[in-house]
Amino acid sequence: MAIPVKRVAVIGAGVSGLMSVKSCLEAGLEPVCFEKNEQLGGVWQTQELDNLDGISGGTIYQCLMSNSSKEMMTVSDFPFPKEYPPYLTPEHLLTYYRNYAEHFNLDQHIRLSTEVMKVAPSADHEATGRWEVCSRPRCRSGTLDGPTASEIFDAVIVSTGLFNTAFVPSYPGQGEFRGQILHSNRFRSGEQFAGKTVLVVGSSHSAGDVAVDASRHASQVYLSMRDGAWVIGRFGPGGMPIDAYSNSRWKAKLPEVIRRLAARPMFEGRFDLDNLGLRCKRRLFEGYIMVNDEIHCRIICGALRCKPGIERFTRDGVVFEDGTRVDGLDVVVFATGYNLNFPFFEDNSIIADNFADLELYMHVWPARRTHPTLAAVGYVSTLGAQTPLFELQSRWVAQVFLGNARLPGIDERMEDVKRRKEAYFKKFGKHRIFFPPIPYCEELADRIGARPNFTRLLLTDPKLALRAFLGPAYPPFYRLNGPHPWAGARDAIINGWANTVNPTRTRVVERPSTGGALTVAMLIAVTVLIISLILVLN
């Protein structure tokens, strides 16, 4: 039987790593976080780097804006400053995560410029569940400098993230192309393509950002998408951030066919996807979604032109799948995502480095391992903010390490892995982890007793109950009860909308009166809806 967990190694001090360190500390564990870079913050700290040499993972470009709104991506017990705008720049986010680390005294548990070289079962692992972690310091140039240190830990949390190794696909003739080929992790600003003819390849957020920004400076930009993309802006009906509008508990309970029908007008009402060449071949929620507020403007002025997938390269251009071609290409930018990479595991079976073979129970625990002393936090992608998922994962991991939550047997874990993988493959036609956030968050919260009790809220705090049923699923809902509740959770939820809109109200205007009030019939309808939701959600 494994010994009680006390000392925990956390690999990576990006967002998921910081969540993991904090969750360990509040649970009374002793985390040691290894970060190979000089600063914490993961991809967000790359905006301060002058030299990207040696960085194979995600980086930040100048035009980047968060795809999730601040109230939806906040840490559950550490709200963003009220003066921050609804959507955030990399500067906002890096400052926030550094302040988060300082506020909860995480810094003293993080070893910067220290790279983990090997993670392997300890000599007594079969009996204890412990792990050997070998690390080396890195100098300012990024090279390893100094002897390897070997330490034994009771448990390990891997939190190096999804964006650690850039993926560049291969096409016929690519090696003969005389222009420049780079991945979007080397993109900083469209200015670097001034006067050039550029092809951007990809269908997700970064592809849209790179194509739009490059089109302001390049002579011509093309965007190649094999299946197209579902493009949506950052704001929905009534000016509400689209993720806050979409991610509420009552909507999450609707069948996907209903959610798809309800959401289509938001994707198709802004512009004609067919006329602009953006139409996705796959159904909504089964193809790539691109959050972008400007791409249609760049297309209608001719600066950006959409094209299908690439068939092959030529010496000075590409031929597309529809037979059309572009010659005189100067640059091709692959905004094609990242591969998983766990170079510190000598045994690839511990955590596989590809989605096809990845076997993580609930996307967290290596399903075949006997001892629950190794966890992966941050290896999911969702239709909304990632931070709440990472935080709940890390809180669950800490409770399992403490023995307050238990994992099922290996057979049940493997059944969960099989079910999820088959469902995602059927939906997307490939191995991909992407899903709506609320059902998964509720699953995690259930495991630690942090899921909001709607019946109790209705009896004790009807106003908060109404927000819980019908409003955005703000992260502080998971600090109302369960382990380590936060006294400020209710205020953060109630003030969520005010904190979203007040930073932009820099010119005070008088809103026209609409007259009237809710009718008795509407009040009755709301009451019936609330009761129905209680029956469904509890």
Condensed to tens digits (0 to 9), the pLDDT of residues 104-124 reads 999 999 999 999 999 999 999
φ/ψ of 111, rounded to 5, equals -100, 100
Q: Name the DSSP letter for residue 251.
A: H
Residue at 238 is within a domain: no
pLDDT of residue 54: 79
In a domain, 239, yes or no: no
Residues 288, 159, single domain; the answer is no
Q: What is the DSSP letter of 531?
A: H
Residue 535 has pLDDT above 90, yes or no: no
What is the arithmetic mean of pLDDT over 63-77?
97
pLDDT in tens, 313-322: 999 999 999 9
Instruction: Please enumerate, as own/partner, the contacts of 92-97 that have beta carbons within 8 Å and a separation of 24 or more.
Output: 92/66, 93/44, 93/66, 94/41, 94/44, 94/45, 94/47, 94/48, 97/15, 97/18, 97/40, 97/41, 97/44
Decide if 412 is inside a domain.
Answer: yes
* Contact of 226 with 312, CB cutoff 8 Å: no
- Give all strands (DSSP E) within 123-214, no chain letters: 131-137, 149-153, 155-158, 165-166, 180-183, 197-201
Same domain, 198 and 329: yes
- How many CA atoms does the CB half-sphere of 345 hold within 13 Å? 18
Spatial separation of the C-alpha atoms in residues 403 and 29, rounded to whole Å: 12
* DSSP annotation of 301: T
Same-domain pairing of 180 and 153: no
10 Å Cβ neighbour count for 420? 17
Q: State the pLDDT at residue 483.
A: 96
Residues 404 and 479 in one domain: no
CATH of the domain at 50: 3.50.50.60
Establish if 262 belongs to a structural domain. Answer: no
Sheet holding 155-158, edge to edge: 110-111, 30-34, 7-11, 155-158, 374-376
Q: Is 252 part of any domain?
A: no
Q: Are residues 470 and 417 in the same domain?
A: no
Tell me how far apart the alpha carbons of residues 9 and 20 are, in angstroms, rounded to a whole number: 10
* Measured torsion, CA atoms of residues 299, 280, 236, 445, in degrees rounded to the nearest 10: -140
pTM: 0.93
For 482-517, what is each residue's pLDDT tens digit? 999 999 999 999 999 999 999 999 998 887 765 554
The answer to whether residues 146 and 178 belong to one domain is no
Residue 13 placed within a domain? yes
Are both 16 and 125 inside the same structural domain?
Answer: yes
**Which of 336, 369, 384 is the last residue before a domain boundary?**
336
**Do 162 and 340 touch, CB atoms closer than 8 A?**
yes
Question: What is the pLDDT of the chain when averaged over all its residues?
Answer: 93
Number of domains in the chain: 3
Q: Is 249 part of any domain?
A: no
- Pair (386, 530) in one structural domain: no
Tell me which residue range forms the domain holding 376.
7-164+340-441
**Is 316 a domain residue?**
yes
Same structural domain, 481 and 425: no
* Residues 430 and 473 grouped into a single domain: no
Do residues 129 and 214 both lie within one domain? no
Q: Are residues 294 and 345 in the same domain?
A: no
